[in-house]
Amino acid sequence: MAEIRSWRTSTYTKYESCVEVADADPSKIMVRDSKARDSSTLTFSPATWAGFVEFSKTFKD
């Protein structure tokens, strides 16, 4: 069966100007460039992604 991904972008960005995230699978987080959707994706463990999200909050204005 083909894997179904539900891609989304941050509500803080404009359409087509950021990355998209697919996190429906509890074992992995997938990330892709919204300008190159047919290109490759990066895959992270949930723990690694959570660490990145927390770290990125330190840069919030």
The whole-number pLDDT of residue 59 equals 78
Q: Where are the domains of the chain?
A: 21-59
- pLDDT 10s digits, 1-60: 556 678 888 777 766 678 899 988 899 999 998 888 888 999 999 999 999 989 988 876
Using a 10 angstrom Cβ sphere, with 0-12 exposed, 13-18 middle and 19 or more buried, the burial of residue 19 is: middle
